[in-house]
């Protein structure tokens, strides 16, 4: 099936363009299926109920088919994330009966992931990076080293260090943040 | 574009390799959407999650739009021609693994495109050209590409991959490169040279593509090349465990090197390792300082689990409170290296440390515990200098370990093919309070 290869390789923007031109929801289906597991995960995180989350995914799909017709969405993925989260929060609030209006009537489009430069910077600042790693607290240091230098996954790191998975995750997240701060301060 | 689609499912179901898991986790650190999704997905059972996603994707596929108008249909037909162009172009790619719940339906609805795909008649190109709103900007350059003779099939995928994926791969790859530079200086070296060859082939084939591959900064060029090389060389990941032949206990800190290359790794606390071999028919060399190394051939295997048992005459590895280890600094070529080690041997040195150390009073009072790792230079004469605290717990503990090393046994320098060279070594010591 050659057409299959075509659409799996199309960018989100191309798919949206196709949808706008043709009005054919298949394009939207292709696009949305790419993110359905992520949207479902986000819905689960907030709604904590499988059926509610499934409904959330489908609701968002319907909303999508309307919004994309009229709005120019530049960074689909970021937009989808913000929209999905807002929808979940709205639902939570309406359930609690506190507010029924939207949290925000407009959706802020965050910049696309802007870390393309990260790599280049890291590469030129290796010496500094090493120094900064040394400044981390011991737990963060161990986990950051295992994760970034030895490329271990969380599960392996948890086994090696004896920390539980969530600890490993937060050590790496915080370690990464501290590293970034350290690199910026000394830059 | 769809390559990440099933990642969450596979991740939760434990279907990913540690390397793939690591890659996903790394992406999640930069991508709050993915991070949230993983967090949410982890709340339910992995099989339930997969089931739900399958159900959702089916529901998404079934939902048809009601606005299906004639003018749009015509526009769609023209658009499909444009799509078929991309299809032809992509026909040259061979890596399709994921399937979409939608796919059968879609291909049924687009049967017209099928015959056109095999041989794209030039008229098609003309048809789509005058309809500017139907062809998105992206397919434009692609048309030029597939209209060039498709003789060099094997060459084509390389530039395509470079073009479509470089942007996404940059952060990850560059970090990997950076990492390699840190720990294993020699690794990136051969990869880059292969890449250069590949790039030059590509550019000579296809002048238009050259523009797209060319990247502005030196860093980026290196990265792009690295990627092409990786695709071309088809790295094999070998994972395994190193166990003591004596009692079957896992051996940590055993160096595993790919013979004849600078690629080296170490076994973890459970004796596990994973190493990437860039070509086949290589030999893995297992060694631990002061011990005889063991060589195992890996012949044309794709991804493999390679458990190895090593005779460790000098073992005593289990739950070692003290370990010494030579630094990995293997040359890029086929050099037989023996890392620096204490004259008395590792076991004796370990015993010496355990017997002679004094828990610093300050640390004891403050109930400080933890592991200290000291790195130092062992020059070709065996003299020790440039002590550096790799991992410290302070309160006098770090200094205590340095004192012990200085007052301890003489060190035998690292030798490469029998010639002593300057190198570094590390000593790890764990401070633990009784009770």
Q: For the segment A86-100, what is each residue's pLDDT rounded down to a tens digit?
A: 889 888 887 655 443
Confidence of residue B228 (pLDDT cuts 50, 70, 90): very low
Count how many pairs of residues, chain A against chain B, have C-beta atoms within 8 Å: 267
Q: Which residue of B has its CA nearest to A19?
A: B76
From A99-113, A140-154, B278-292, B396-410, the region with the lowest mean pLDDT: A99-113
Cβ-defined contact of A123 to B178 (cutoff 8 Å): yes
Beta-bridge mates of residue B310: B244
For residue A100, give how far its alpha carbon lies from the nearest alpha carbon of chain B (Å): 24
Confidence of residue A53 (pLDDT cuts 50, 70, 90): very high
Interface of B with A in 52-71 (CB under 8 A): 52-53, 55-57, 59-61, 63-65, 67-69
So what's the pLDDT on residue B275? 72
Q: Which residue of A has its CA nearest to B93?
A: A5
Q: What is the secondary structure of A160-181 as a DSSP string?
A: HH---HHHHHHHHHHHHHHHHH
Q: Could you read off the pLDDT of B167-206 as tens digits, one per residue? A: 333 333 333 333 333 333 333 333 333 333 333 333 334 4
Whether pLDDT at B138 is above 90: no
Contact list in A for residue B101 (CB cut-off 8 A) is 33
CB burial readout B319-350, b (16+ within 10 A) else e: ebebbbbbbbbbeeeeeebbbbbbebbbbebb
Cβ-defined contact of A2 to B56 (cutoff 8 Å): no
Contact list in B for residue A43 (CB cut-off 8 A) is 40
Q: Which residue of B has its CA nearest to A3?
A: B87
What does residue B46 show for φ and ψ, rounded to 5 degrees? -60, -40
Largest CA distance in chain A: 57
Please give the average per-residue pLDDT across B50-65, as a whole number.
84
Cα(B222)–Cα(B177) distance, integer angstroms? 9
CATH H-level, domain B320-435: superfamily: TonB (3.30.2420.10)
The two structure tokens encoding residue A9: 């390789």
Cβ-defined contact of A2 to B91 (cutoff 8 Å): yes
Cβ-defined contact of A123 to B219 (cutoff 8 Å): yes
B211 touches chain A (CB under 8 A): no
Whose CA is closest to A8, among B90, B364, B201, B70?
B90
Q: Give the contacts of B103 (CB within 8 A, at least 6 positions apart).
A: A1, A4
From A45-54, A76-85, B282-291, B327-336, the region with the lowest mean pLDDT: B327-336
Among B73, B93, B179, select the one facing A5 at the smallest CB separation: B93
Q: Which residue of B has its CA nearest to A13?
A: B136
Cβ-defined contact of A33 to B164 (cutoff 8 Å): no
Q: Which residue has the higher pLDDT, B248 or A164?
A: A164
Cα(B83)–Cα(B259) distance, integer angstroms? 48
Whether pLDDT at B160 is above 60: no
From B10-19, B139-148, B337-346, B387-396, the region with the lowest mean pLDDT: B139-148
Whether pLDDT at A38 is above 90: yes
Region(s) of chain B under CATH 3.30.2420.10: 320-435
Contact list in B for residue A177 (CB cut-off 8 A) is none
So what's the pLDDT on residue B77? 57
Q: Give the contacts of B383 (CB within 8 A, at least 6 positions apart).
A: none
Beta pairing class for B411-412 and B236-244: unpaired
The two structure tokens encoding residue B250: 């896992």
So what's the pLDDT on residue A111? 36
Tokens 């690292």, residue?
B414
Q: Looking at the domain B236-314, which fold is it?
A: Immunoglobulin-like (2.60.40)
Whether pLDDT at B137 is above 60: no
Interface of B with A in 103-142 (CB under 8 A): 103, 105-107, 109-110, 113-114, 117, 133-134, 136, 138
Q: Which domains does chain A have, with CATH numbers?
A: 2-96 (1.10.1740.10), 116-185 (1.10.10.10)
Whether pLDDT at B108 is above 60: no
Whether pLDDT at B370 is above 90: no
Rank B92-96, B212-216, B417-421 by mean pLDDT and report only the highest: B417-421
Cα(B84)–Cα(B113) distance, integer angstroms? 6
Cα(B102)–Cα(A26) distance, integer angstroms? 8
Residue of B20, B29, B36 to mutate, testing the A interface (most A Cβ within 10 Å of its Cβ): B36
Beta-bridge mates of residue B322: B429
Please give the average per-residue pLDDT across B410-435, as a whole number.
82
For residue A186, give how far its alpha carbon lies from the nearest alpha carbon of chain B (Å): 19
Distances (CA, A) of B248 to B238, B291, B310, B320: 20, 17, 9, 16
Cβ-defined contact of A42 to B33 (cutoff 8 Å): yes
Distances (CA, A) of B36 to B13, B27, B54, B132, B149: 17, 12, 20, 39, 46
pTM for the whole thing? 0.38
Cα(B343)–Cα(B341) distance, integer angstroms? 6
Please give the average per-residue pLDDT across A124-149, as a whole number.
82
Beta-bridge mates of residue B388: B375
Whether pLDDT at A58 is above 90: yes
CB burial readout B86-105, b (16+ within 10 A) else e: bbbbbbbeeeeeeebbbbee
Cα(B277)–Cα(B282) distance, integer angstroms? 8
**Arithmetic mean of pLDDT over chain B:** 61
**Arithmetic mean of pLDDT over chain A:** 78
Among A25, A34, A148, select the one facing B1 at the smallest CB separation: A34
Interface of B with A in 357-396 (CB under 8 A): 370-371, 390-391, 393
Among A119, A120, A153, select the one facing B21 at the smallest CB separation: A153
So what's the pLDDT on residue A60? 92
What does residue B309 show for φ and ψ, rounded to 5 degrees? -110, 135
Residue of B54, B171, B226, B272 to mutate, testing the A interface (most A Cβ within 10 Å of its Cβ): B171
So what's the pLDDT on residue A44? 93
B176 touches chain A (CB under 8 A): yes
So what's the pLDDT on residue A10? 84
Contact in structure between B89 and B142 (CB atoms under 8 Å):
yes
Q: Which residue of A has its CA nearest to B371?
A: A138
Q: Give the contacts of A94 (CB within 8 A, at least 6 positions apart).
A: A100
Please give the average per-residue pLDDT across A28-55, as a whole number.
92
Cα(B140)–Cα(B123) distance, integer angstroms? 15
The two structure tokens encoding residue B337: 């290296």
């Amino acid at each position: 099936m050659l057409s299959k290869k075509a659409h799996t390789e199309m960018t989100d923007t191309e798919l949206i363009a196709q949808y706008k031109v043709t009005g054919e929801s298949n394009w939207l289906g292709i696009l949305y299926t790419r993110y359905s597991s992520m949207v479902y995960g986000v819905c689960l995180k907030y709604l904590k109920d499988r059926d509610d989350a499934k409904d959330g995914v489908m609701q968002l799909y319907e909303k999508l088919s309307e919004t994309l017709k009229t709005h120019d969405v530049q960074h689909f993925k970021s937009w989808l994330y913000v929209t999905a989260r807002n929808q979940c929060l709205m639902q939570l609030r309406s359930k609690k009966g506190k507010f029924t209006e939207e949290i925000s009537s407009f959706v802020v489009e965050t910049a696309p992931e802007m870390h393309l430069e990260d790599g280049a910077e890291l590469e030129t600042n290796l010496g500094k990076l090493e120094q900064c790693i040394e400044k981390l607290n011991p737990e963060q240091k161990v986990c950051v080293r295992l994760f970034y230098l030895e490329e271990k996954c969380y599960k392996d790191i948890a086994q090696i260090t004896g920390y539980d998975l969530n600890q490993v995750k937060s050590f790496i997240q915080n370690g990464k943040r501290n590293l970034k701060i350290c690199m910026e301060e000394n830059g | 574009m769809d390559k990440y689609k099933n990642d969450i499912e596979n991740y939760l179901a434990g279907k990913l390799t540690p390397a793939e898991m690591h890659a996903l986790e790394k992406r999640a650190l930069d991508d709050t959407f993915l991070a949230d999704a993983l967090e949410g997905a982890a709340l339910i059972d992995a099989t339930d999650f997969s089931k739900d996603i399958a159900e959702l994707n089916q529901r998404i596929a079934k939902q048809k739009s009601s606005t299906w108008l004639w003018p749009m249909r015509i526009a769609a037909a023209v658009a499909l021609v444009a799509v078929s162009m991309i299809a032809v172009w992509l026909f040259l790619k061979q890596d399709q693994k994921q399937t979409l719940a939608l796919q059968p339906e879609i291909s049924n609805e687009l049967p017209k495109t099928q015959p056109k795909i095999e041989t794209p008649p030039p008229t098609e190109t003309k048809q789509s050209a005058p309809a500017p709103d139907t062809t998105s900007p992206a397919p434009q350059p692609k048309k030029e590409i597939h209209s060039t003779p498709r003789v060099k099939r094997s060459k084509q995928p390389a530039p395509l991959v470079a073009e479509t994926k470089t942007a996404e791969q940059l952060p990850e790859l560059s970090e990997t490169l950076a990492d390699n530079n840190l720990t294993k200086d020699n690794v990136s070296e051969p990869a880059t040279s292969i890449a250069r060859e590949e790039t030059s082939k590509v550019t000579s084939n296809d002048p238009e593509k050259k523009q797209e591959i060319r990247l502005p900064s030196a860093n980026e060029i290196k990265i792009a090349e690295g990627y092409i090389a990786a695709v071309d060389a088809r790295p094999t990941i070998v994972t395994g465990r190193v166990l003591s032949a004596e009692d079957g206990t896992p051996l940590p800190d055993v160096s595993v090197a790919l013979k004849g290359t600078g690629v080296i790794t170490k076994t973890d606390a459970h004796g596990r390792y994973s190493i990437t071999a860039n070509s086949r028919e290589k030999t893995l060399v297992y060694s631990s300082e002061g011990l005889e190394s063991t060589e195992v051939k890996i012949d044309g295997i794709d991804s493999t689990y390679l458990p190895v048992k090593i005779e460790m005459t000098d073992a005593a590895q289990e739950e070692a409170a003290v370990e010494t280890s030579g630094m990995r600094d293997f040359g890029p070529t086929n050099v037989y290296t023996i890392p620096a080690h204490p004259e008395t041997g590792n076991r004796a040195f370990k015993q010496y440390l355990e017997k002679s150390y004094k828990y610093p009073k300050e640390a004891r009072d403050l109930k400080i515990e933890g592991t200290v790792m000291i790195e130092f230079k062992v020059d070709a004469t065996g003299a020790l200098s440039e002590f550096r605290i790799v991992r410290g717990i302070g309160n006098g503990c770090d200094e205590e370990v340095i004192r012990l090393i200085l007052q301890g046994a003489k060190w035998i320098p690292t030798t490469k093919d029998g010639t002593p060279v300057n190198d570094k070594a590390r000593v790890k010591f764990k401070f633990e309070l009784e009770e």
